[in-house]
Amino acid sequence: AQKITQTQPGMFVQEKEAVTLDCTYDTSDQSYGLFWYKQPSSGEMIFLIYQGSYDEQNATEGRYSLNFQKARKSANLVISASQLGDSAMYFCAMRGGSNYKLTFGKGTLLTVNP
């Protein structure tokens, strides 16, 4: 069974600062994938970034990077230079092995203050 844990129900950050959203996972699969999605107050789910378990480099997409620490089973999302539009709910998710079901964490609500 797969499990995703997001321990921060809410986070606050000042505009232009960096913020790290925590995600830990548990799986017995050797091959798996990790995802981050953003959900603004309008409700849609927006894909941000993906990391494969065999990827040696941490994934980056613009201001988003995924700090992947395999031994610690963590996949933290780092947002650099926060913007007001980054205020949203953020979900970590994982896919185990060849199983194409994603398991989601409970989410972290990020608020960016001006």
Report, in Å, the least distance between residue 6 CB and other proteins. 8
Give the nearer residue to other proteins in terms of CB position, either 82 or 95: 95
Q: Is 81 left (phi over 0), alpha (psi -120 to 50) or beta?
A: left
Give the nearer residue to other proteins in terms of CB position, either 44 or 56: 44
CA distances from 44 to 21, 33, 60, 86 (A): 20, 22, 22, 14
Report, in Å, the least distance between residue 4 CB and other proteins. 8
Give the nearer residue to other proteins in terms of CB position, either 50 or 64: 50
Q: Of 66, 37, 70, 65, which Cα lies nearest the Cα of 53?
A: 70
**Strands 3-5 vs 24-26: parallel, antiparallel or unpaired:** antiparallel
Beta bridge partners of 26: 3
Report, in Å, the least distance between residue 15 CB and other proteins. 26
Task: Provide the binding-site residues for other proteins, judged by CB under 8 A.
Answer: 4, 6, 9, 33, 35, 43-45, 47, 50, 52, 91, 93, 95, 100-107
